[in-house]
Structure 1
Amino acid sequence: MSTTARTWTSPRRRSRWLAPLLAAPLLLTACGGGGTSGQESGAGTGSPAEGAATGTGGTEGTTEVRVADTAGMPSAFLQYGVNEGYFEAEGLDVTVDVSIGGAAAVPAVVNGETQFAGSNTVSAILAASKGLPITIVAAGTRTVAEPAEDFARIVASSSSGIEEVSDLEGATIAVNTLENINDVVIMTLMEDAGADREQVNFAEMGFSDMLPAVANGQVDGALLIEPFVTMALDQGAVEVASPYTESRPDMMVGTYMTSEDYAAENPEVVEAFQRGVDATGQAIAEDPDAFREALPEVTTIEPDLAGQIHLPVWNASVDEETLQFLNERMVRYGLMDEEITVEDIVTPAAE
């Protein structure tokens, strides 16, 4: 079928342009507590936050750091931690820049334009495999053990004829960025179902663009995260699979990374950031309702929707088993020529 987004059909036919990328604003933007969108903050302009690399700046007694994170639950998590003071308690003045996907933030981290970035795990591994000097300092979003509680879904239009994973052969599925964790889990599920994983087409577009694209038949389906999952199902989309949990229960979907140079030169800042992530994750685990109540403040999610969505799990410790699982799959599916040593790209957690 035709589509108006960049597509990738298989590891051997990468990043094929069919037409210009859909242009529409992201539904979710961070707000309050110092969080700004990348456009508003100047992220990616080549001007790092003043004082961030030298350990100065910010409010008195704090170090100013800029963190790029993916729109949706990832950036909402980080902004919640900022608003609740968990990073300030560790001596950090954090500004959140919202991005479309973690892969786009890799150059900014390497160049020092942003000190940390949230990324899907595959994009972090892929960056390291290409020799980019990044290191993973903490885990981001994780999925859960039960598929029904996964914060992500593959959904399809009711007219597509797609009801299960094996039906994805020949279909065009929207993903937020190409060659990332979403490609890998979709191909994993197809392989597990006995389907030909090379016969699926991927179309790149923002999450908010996916809802109308599925509804009008521009794509056959999409891999969505919350709150877009609940919105799509409310609009009559067909639920096909829970891609993260069904690929690997408790999968570490997201990571936080920085450059090797920044980690080496600013170990105390890295440790403070790790503790801030850990404190935020523990707070949400202990009181998820408080996080739900805060979502309308840190995103544009309406209160009723915030009460319905499935939340990810956050645990700052890096899961090297997930890294190795994805490492192996990426080679199998042609995203990399050979495996990397995953231990080499992890900065140990603060004691």
Structure 2
Amino acid sequence: MRSLRRLTAVAAGIALAGSSLAACGGDDSSGSSKGLEHGGKITVASLPLVDGAALYIAQSKKLFEAEGLKVTIQPVQQSTAALPALKAGQVDVIAGANYVSFLSANDQGALHLKILNEGATLTSNMMNVIVKANSPIKEPKDLEGKKVAVNIPNNIQSLTLDAILRAKNVDPTKVKYVKVPFPQMSQALDKGDVDAAHMVEPFLSDAQKKNGDRVVVDGGSEPVKDMPISGYVSTQEFVSKNPKTAAAFQRAILKAQAIAAGDRKQVEQVLPGYARIPAQVAPVITLPGYPTSNNETRLQRVVDLMTAAKLLKSKPDIKSLLFTAQS
């Protein structure tokens, strides 16, 4: 992937250490490490997306503290921007990591991937292609030859959108994907820098509510409905050195995922704080699915789609990539 070849150049541009980390983290004096490695301390890089709601639910409900963990959260705009820091041990986990980019990094040997938890699955209208209300783009076919904003080219967005477009007899090779961070997509669309934006919640509903933007493609429709899109990823090196800490984090996130899946009000309460959206927008956004277990068959769908798109040199063993706590 083109974006992954340049990942090392991004490391200098991301501040993943220092005073900003402490502002979002847990108190070192609270709770007990319960014999966890590294005092139970974990630094998590997180995107401002609905995918990572469980991270903030776990923090607010003190689920991390209950496991003896001291979790520090570092906001980032793109999950791949944190990849060099993950490799360097500056962050231990990336929340909301899109599977395509990280499976590709693993495939290329740039990262020894370990998936701690599944994060989100696609639901209808949670990740749509939108255009301005007065745009001449009326249907998916009109996207051919047009510039469409995606957070990162050749990631889960373009992979799933390409599959949807092909199913609608649209040639995805004629769509020009443009790299735009999620928080800047609405502005890029307003300025005419792009013709359309493949936007995800919570930014999607915010743009529609504020600007009256119009949906031209449901990004959660067949053939990618319920497709896993992101998760909580780490490295083989981290989990091998810190198996008890990794297991404690996994347990806390699974509990928080169950809360998110069972009560959207809990998601609505944490979203405005970390996603920086108005509180009145939170109740109207479309939420993803929040898996409450890790499932090899579900993740295999991503691998199969990537293989068909020639984004992998070889099929990975999903079972070996999923972290399983030792009993």
Q: Distance in 2 between matches of 1:339 and 1:162?
A: 37
Question: Compared with structure 1, are the counterparts of its residues 120 and 346 closer, same or farther at alpha carbon in structure 2 (3 Å cutoff)?
Answer: same
Q: Distance in 2 between matches of 1:88 and 1:336?
A: 39
Q: Deviations over 1:274-320 (max 9, x none)?
A: 11111111122332223313433444222211121112222242333
Point out where structure 1 has 5 or more consecutive residues left out of the alignment.
1-10, 16-37, 50-56
Q: Distance in 1 between matches of 2:295 and 2:47?
A: 20
> Paired residue for 2:282?
306
Q: Distance in 1 between matches of 2:225 and 2:119?
A: 15
> Paired residue for 1:326?
302
Q: Deviations over 1:182-207 (max 9, x none)?
A: 01011111111122121111111111
- Higher helix residue share: 2
> Paired residue for 1:94?
71
> Paired residue for 1:207?
182
Question: Compared with structure 1, are the counterparts of its residues 44 and 167 closer, same or farther at alpha carbon in structure 2 (3 Å cutoff)?
Answer: farther
Matches within 5 A, 1:133-152: 133-144=112-123, 147=124, 150-152=125-127
Q: Distance in 2 between matches of 1:95 and 1:222?
A: 32
Q: Report SS of the residue matched to 1:140.
A: strand
CA apart distance, 1:269: 0.9
Structure 2 letter corresponding to 1:140: G
Q: Distance in 2 between matches of 1:85 and 1:168?
A: 46
CA contact (8 A) 1:182 1:223 kept: yes
Q: Report SS of the residue matched to 2:294.
A: coil
Question: Compared with structure 1, are the counterparts of its residues 58 and 272 closer, same or farther at alpha carbon in structure 2 (3 Å cutoff)?
Answer: farther
Q: Report SS of the residue matched to 1:317.
A: coil
Between 1:170-179 and 1:333-342, the stretch displaced more is 333-342
Matches within 5 A, 1:8-23: none
For normalisation by structure 2, the TM-score amounts to: 0.84
Question: Compared with structure 1, are the counterparts of its residues 70 and 293 closer, same or farther at alpha carbon in structure 2 (3 Å cutoff)?
Answer: closer
CA apart distance, 1:350: 7.0
CA apart distance, 1:231: 1.9
> Paired residue for 2:16?
43
> Paired residue for 1:239?
215
Question: Compared with structure 1, are the counterparts of its residues 326 and 76 closer, same or farther at alpha carbon in structure 2 (3 Å cutoff)?
Answer: closer
Q: CA RMSD in A?
A: 2.7
Question: Compared with structure 1, are the counterparts of its residues 86 and 239 closer, same or farther at alpha carbon in structure 2 (3 Å cutoff)?
Answer: same
Matches within 5 A, 1:53-64: 59-62=30-33, 63-64=40-41
Matches within 5 A, 1:1-351: 42-43=15-16, 59-62=30-33, 63-118=40-95, 119-131=97-109, 132-144=111-123, 147=124, 150-234=125-209, 235-348=211-324
Q: Report SS of the residue matched to 1:270.
A: helix
CA apart distance, 1:267: 1.1
CA contact (8 A) 1:170 1:199 kept: yes
Point out where structure 2 has 5 or more consecutive residues left out of the alignment.
4-12, 23-27, 34-39
CA apart distance, 1:218: 1.4
